[in-house]
Amino acid sequence: MQEYVLEMKGVCKSFPGVKALDQVELHLRPGTVHALMGENGAGKSTLMKCLFGVYKMDEGEIIYNGEHVKIENPFDALQKGIAMVHQELQPIPERSIAENIYCGRYPETKILGLIRTVNHKKMYEQTDALLKGLGLNYDAKAKLGSLSVSQMQLVEIAKAVSANAKIVIMDEPTSSLTRNEVEVLFSIINRLKEQGCSIIYISHKMEEILQISDEVTIMRDGRYIGTWPSKELTTDMIITKMVGRELTNLFPKRENVPGEVILKVEDFTSIHPKSFRNVSFELRKGEILGVSGLVGAQRTELMEGIFGLRASERGTITYLGKKLHITRPKVAIENGIALLTEDRRGSGIFGVLSVSDNISVASLQQYLLFRVMLNDRKIANLVQENVKKLSIKTPSIKTQIQSLSGGNQQKVIISRWLANDPDVLIMDEPTRGIDVGAKYEIYCIIAELAKQGKSIIMISSEMPELIGMADRIMVMCDGRVTGFVDGKDMNQEIIMELATRFAS
Amino acid sequence: MKEKQSVGNFLLNNAMIIFMIGAAIVVGILRPTFFSMYNFKNLISNTAVRFIIAVGVSGCLITKGTDLSAGRTVGLAACIAATFMQAADYSSKVYPNLGELPMLLVLLGVIFVSVLIGLLNGLVISLLNVPPFIATLGMQTIVYGACLVFTGAQPIGGLRKDYTNISSGSIFNIQLLPYLGIIALVIGVIMWFVYNKTPHGKYMYAIGGNENSAEVSGINTVKTKLVIYMTAGLMYGIAGFLLGAKSGGASVNMGMGYELEAIAGCTIGGVSTNGGVGRISGILIGVLVFELLKIAMQFMGVETSYTYIVQGIVIIIAVALDIRKYVAKR
């Protein structure tokens, strides 16, 4: 038997504007759990997508079972025995659990030896057996959409298991799991190991990594840093290697001074029973309020509700002493509230439009000549000013925004909102998918805005980021606010405890 | 970081235009009369009406919609215009007791009806969230039915001279400056202004670029779309009015399939069916080149039935080439 079941060497991959992977390697031993670590944007997911055939590598080789292989697409990867549990789920909620698990490889029978049909009976039986074997008590015929996000994630893992894979890639499998569910996952992982299966495990959670993994590979800024046995590592060592500099330099110094309360939300409740409910909080002038919670805690939904993108059933928003009825984003914007959305591609950028159009689109009414015609020179000034102020790296202001890197795209969207001079800036995962250097720049922008007296609500799934940036952190779980922490209490354990308050 | 445009890419991105101009040149060499003044004027008048329709459709396309009711609306507009612009002494007048109406009044009436159709399209699409393809396909049939009812399936002829003169006349009797061409040009300039220099235009591109982002940015997407579909209706009304004058009569079959020609012209001219992209100048080139191809085929004596087949192929290829630009290479 070879020493390694899988080796990736010299892997390079570029996207327009970013070199995502630069000479990365990975050495995976059979029957082990191999943790892949690095900050967001370090290139872990990209590397795995290359392995799974989602992306084509620009350079590099994959040696699998001692042979050089080329993986054309995810189907090819599955055929070769490589399965992946995606970070972002790609479920079909309207179909049954069984159909989701066997999607693309349904058990078949042939009518008259000719016409291929799906053998539903076999599919449901196999699914029931599979779920039972993994200790998951779900009905194979239930719609996938009837499960919670964490349950869906376990189904996704069951899907990978069912493929009889030699290698299972798990990309942040525990990001939305409760503690009990993590235990279920770990028992599944141990069972897979016993069967000789290797697992590549991507996670940010240090304790988990040290508990479950045998080896750790660390990446930083798209480069390979090294591989170590987990036994030889400590949390601090991992962080130092991941970040590549002392932790103290990660966040800029904040000089903001929170003042009087300017926004007060009381008993804010969604029209959907499973979404946010009974949410009350206050935001001060010049304050950075962090919002923490697991995936599915309804943080994004809450903010979209406040911004008028989602309907609320009851509750009040008091802003600068007067009650607001925000029925659509325009009302929020007119009152000086801005929302930087979580999904930059989906609801942030206008990909085919220029940097200039992307910056000016929300404030065009301020640049009118004779009430109908746009004042192009004023708009150009606004854009140039922002490009300079936020040091947006773009060849020209006419460049399509989609050719910029994630960090620069984010700065463009921040500029869009600043053009309206808002008092409250809600930022939903402002540093997601942005490389480390650019992250620091975003932090600096946030700190500077708060210093200027703007109030910031910052949602983040990265706890160190919240602890480093926020004056106070509001923690949510299952649509409800479970607590506020500040000062000395701002540590991962207390936040985690609040974030899993209602977890089963 | 502008992507280097290789020669091959340039050729492929402009393949349709290059091919069609090439075809026209070949025809010109084979049939020298192709480059005659008469033919040139013919090309301008044909292009003028088609261009106005294409400009109407372009707003829908840029916002990732479409308008399949364009052709039938043009047809209805032409029928209404013709009905009320019949000469007083014409023997089989639809309304024998009706005197001569002011031309402007008739034009306004025609525009009122077509803008109303556009408004209905817009309401169904933006408020009821019916996919534009289905909504306007339904409207296409409704408008055709309305036109049948209105005309009783009878052709309308005997039009007033001052009306038909809009199409046959030209400024200072210079052949190169037909009224139709001038009108289309003026409309083109106005619409260029609307697309590039007004918030409405920017909002249109924004909605086409990413409707979610547009919503988040505080753009009233419902209102913007309503205006776009109403503007489209306005364009069809004007085009129909001109088409009636140009044809010297009108019938229910008028305007059939014009929506596809308009969409083809737009796509050839660089309006992306993926949304967010498209320029008025491009639409003009697209429509012009498409008309050039049609006339070239006529000159080569290709039977009309075959030209439909060619037109259909051209549309599909144009969209395929367009989509090719946006399919991300991974």
- E-assigned strands of A29-128? 33-37, 59-64, 67-69, 82-85, 108-111, 115-118
Give A-chain residues touching B198 at CB under 8 angstroms. 372-374
Q: Identify the pLDDT of residue B27.
A: 84
Res A416: pLDDT = 96
Report the b/e string of B200-227 with b at 16+ CB within 10 A. Answer: bbbbbbbbbbbbbbbbbbbbbbeebbbb
Q: Test A351 with B202 for CB contact under 8 angstroms.
A: no
Q: Does A354 touch chain B (CB under 8 A)?
A: no
Q: In chain B, which residue's Cα lies nearest the Cα of A55? A: B330
Q: Taking CB atoms and an 8 Å cutoff, what residues of chain B touch A374? A: 197-199, 202
B214 touches chain A (CB under 8 A): yes
Asked if the C-beta of A485 comes within 8 angstroms of chain B's C-beta atoms, the answer is: no
Mean pLDDT value of segment B285-311 = 87
Residues 6+ away with beta carbon under 8 Å from A391 = A411, A441
Whether residues B209 and A352 touch (CB distance < 8 A) is answered with: yes
Q: Residue A6 has what pLDDT? A: 92
Cα–chain center distance at A428 = 11
Short-list A367, A393, A361, CA closest to A379? A367
* Residues contacting B29, CB < 8 A, separation 6+: none
Contact with chain B for residue A10, Cβ under 8 A: no
* A393: three-class secondary structure by DSSP: coil
The predicted pLDDT at position B2 comes to 39
DSSP per-residue codes, A309-357: SS-EEEEEEEETTEEE---SHHHHHHTTEEEE-S-HHHHT--TTSBHHH
Do the Cβ atoms of A352 and B272 come within 8 Å? yes
pLDDT of residue A41: 66
Residues B101-147: pLDDT tens digits? Answer: 999 999 999 999 999 999 999 999 999 999 999 999 999 999 999 99
Distance from CA of A339 to the nearest CA of B (A): 8
B227 reaches A (C-beta below 8 A): no
Cross-chain Cβ contact A350/B214 below 8 Å: yes
| Helical residues (DSSP H) of chain B, grouped into ranges | 7-13, 15-30, 37-62, 70-84, 103-126, 132-151, 161-168, 179-197, 199-209, 211-216, 221-247, 258-268, 280-299, 304-326
Between B202, B209, B217, which is nearest A416 by CB?
A: B217
What per-residue confidence (pLDDT) applies to A16? Answer: 67
**Partner B, chain A 51-80, Cβ-Cβ below 8 Å:** 54-56
Tell whether A375 is within 8 A of chain B (Cβ).
no
B218 interfacial to chain A (CB closer than 8 Å): yes
Q: What distance in Å separates residue B70's CA from the closest CA in chain A?
A: 27
In this complex, is the C-beta atom of B219 within 8 Å of any C-beta atom belonging to chain A?
A: yes
What pLDDT, on a 0 to 100 scale, did the predictor assign at position A106? 84
- Top residue of A46, A347, A365 to mutate, by most chain B CBs within 10 Å, is A347
Q: What is the pLDDT of residue A303?
A: 96
- Alpha carbon of B320: minimum distance to chain A alpha carbons (Å): 18
Provide DSSP, A419-446. Answer: TT--SEEEEESTTTT--HHHHHHHHHHH
**Confidence at residue B183, expressed as pLDDT on a 0 to 100 scale:** 95
Contact A239, A249 (CB under 8 A): no
What's the structural domain count of chain B?
1
**Contact by Cβ (8 Å): B263, B55:** no
pLDDT of residue A414: 95
pLDDT of residue B59: 97
Say whether B276 and A352 touch across the interface (CB within 8 A).
Answer: yes
Instruction: Answer yes or no: are the C-beta atoms of B311 and B264 closer than 8 Å.
Output: yes
pTM given for the model? 0.81
Strands A115-118 and A108-111: antiparallel
Report the share of chain B in percent with pLDDT over 70. Answer: 97
The mean pLDDT of B200-223, rounded to a whole number, is 95
Q: Which of A332, A348, A373 sits opposite B213 (nearest CB)?
A: A348
In terms of pLDDT, which residue wins out, B171 or A128? A128
Q: Which contacts qualify for A233-239: CB closer than 8 Å, 24 or more apart?
A: A234/A210, A235/A206, A235/A207, A235/A210, A238/A37, A238/A206, A238/A209, A239/A206
Confirm or reject contact between B57 and chain A (CB < 8 A).
Answer: no
Our CA-based measurement puts residue B4 at a distance from the nearest CA of chain A, in whole angstroms, of: 12
Are A350 and B203 an interchain contact pair (Cβ–Cβ within 8 Å)? no
Q: How far is A294 from chain B (nearest CA, A)?
A: 24
B2 has a chain A CB within 8 A of its CB = yes
ipTM: 0.84
Interface check for A362 against chain B (CB to CB < 8 A): the answer is yes
Q: Which residue of B has its CA nearest to A72?
A: B330
Q: For residue B328, what pLDDT band results from cuts at 50, 70 and 90?
A: low
Stretches in chain A below the pLDDT threshold 50: 504
Task: Give the closest of B2, B198, B220 to A395, CB-based.
Answer: B2
Tell me the pLDDT tens digit for each residue of B54-95: 999 999 999 999 999 999 999 999 999 999 999 988 888 888
CA distance A73 to chain B (A): 11
Q: Estimate to the nearest angstrom the gap between the alpha carbon of B168 and the chain centroid.
A: 20
Q: Pick from A17, A347, A360: which is nearest to B216 by CB?
A: A347
- Residue B199 corresponds to which amino acid? P
Q: How confident is the model at residue B159 (pLDDT cuts 50, 70, 90)?
A: very high
Of the residues B64, B217, B326, the best mutation for testing chain A's interface (the one with the most A CB atoms within 10 Å of its CB) is B217
- Compute φ and ψ for B64, nearest 5 degrees: 65, 20
Q: Looking at chain A, which residue has its C-alpha nearest residue B203?
A: A361
Cβ within 8 Å of A, B 165-194 = 193
**pLDDT band at residue B172 using 50, 70 and 90 as cut-offs:** confident
Which residue in A333, A357, A404 is closest to B218 by CB distance?
A333
Which residue in chain B is spatially nearest to A339 when comparing CA positions?
B216
Residue B43, C-beta contacts closer than 8 angstroms, at least 6 positions apart: B288, B291, B292, B295
| Chain A to chain B Cβ contacts (< 8 Å) | 93
Nearest-neighbour CA in chain B from A40: distance (Å) = 21
Q: Which two tokens stand for residue A243?
A: 């970040």
Domain that holds residue B211: 2-329
Contact across the interface for B219 and A361, Cβ inside 8 Å: yes
- The answer to whether B277 contacts chain A (CB < 8 Å) is yes
Q: Is B215 on the interface with A (CB under 8 A)?
A: yes
Give me the pLDDT at residue B294, please.
Answer: 86
Q: Does B132 touch chain A (CB under 8 A)?
A: no
The tokens for A75 are 């189907």
